[in-house]
A = this chain, B = another copy of it.
């Protein structure tokens, strides 16, 4: 077997001391892995890690994630999304959604956004049926969303406004007064799923669990 790329992802949380260079390597490896799974078709999807108190390292815009290298990442200011260094590649167009998550959850070290098919389809079916959060009940994999002792979780579902900052604003508003211990994930109808955690490994693990939950929900039916 070839080693899995996530094998080399440290489980240490990213923080002020994280080396941006290594973080870039981990970011691009994570993006390539998600691409290989078919969850980032074309140039879609974006991944970020917190870098110190005031910055976020995020994948660059418009690149095929299967071809991503360390150079295809950009350090942006956590408050504005502006690249820290002149001449940086253009950050992902969805940087503002990542920043909304980092602002809402100070302990979060990494955010992953992708287009896994079952999560996207379940979100869209729910939205078409009137919207509201997607709730999972009884399924064991709920524990993989960091919620070991609950029988159900709710994943908030957002509209896919053409203007990305409008999505980010709604995400920010939603989490300004979150429920106690909200699930580390959100869904955007007709678009995809976003998860977060202390580090890239945890954020990726949660995306896997969310997609598996959504596949099970579709297979089990009503």
Interface residues of A (CB under 8 A from B): 1-7, 9, 11, 29, 32-33, 35-36, 38, 41-44, 64, 66-67, 115, 117-118, 120-121, 124-125, 128, 138-141, 143-144, 149, 151, 160, 162, 188-192, 201, 204-206, 208-209, 211-212, 215-216, 218-221
Distance of A8 from chain B, by nearest CB (Å): 9
B36, A215: Cβ atoms closer than 8 Å:
no
The docked-state distance in angstroms from the alpha carbon of A108 to that of B62 is: 19
Distance of A159 from chain B, by nearest CB (Å): 10
A149, B162: Cβ atoms closer than 8 Å:
yes
State the oligomeric state as a number of copies: 4
B220, A144: Cβ atoms closer than 8 Å:
no
Q: Which of B1, B125, B190, B206 interacts with A33 by CB under 8 Å?
A: B1
The docked-state distance in angstroms from the alpha carbon of A188 to that of B1 is: 29
Given A64-B204, A117-B215, 9 more pairs with CB closer than 8 A:
A4-B66, A9-B67, A38-B208, A44-B140, A117-B212, A138-B190, A139-B190, A140-B160, A149-B162
Q: Which of B1, B6, B138 interacts with A67 by CB under 8 Å?
A: B6
Distance of A4 from chain B, by nearest CB (Å): 4
Distance of A142 from chain B, by nearest CB (Å): 9
Distance of A28 from chain B, by nearest CB (Å): 11
A2, A41, A191, A204: most-surrounded residue (chain B CB, <10 A): A41
Q: Which of B162, B208, B209, B218 interacts with A219 by CB under 8 Å?
A: B218
Distance of A168 from chain B, by nearest CB (Å): 15
Q: Which of B33, B44, B140 interacts with A192 by CB under 8 Å?
A: B140
B4, A41: Cβ atoms closer than 8 Å:
no
A160, B141: Cβ atoms closer than 8 Å:
no
B125, A42: Cβ atoms closer than 8 Å:
no
Q: Which of B1, B42, B206 interacts with A206 by CB under 8 Å?
A: B42
Residues of B within 8 A of A192 (CB): 140
Known: A42-B209, A220-B124. A160 touches B144 (CB 8 A): no
Distance of A58 from chain B, by nearest CB (Å): 18
The docked-state distance in angstroms from the alpha carbon of A191 to that of B213 is: 10
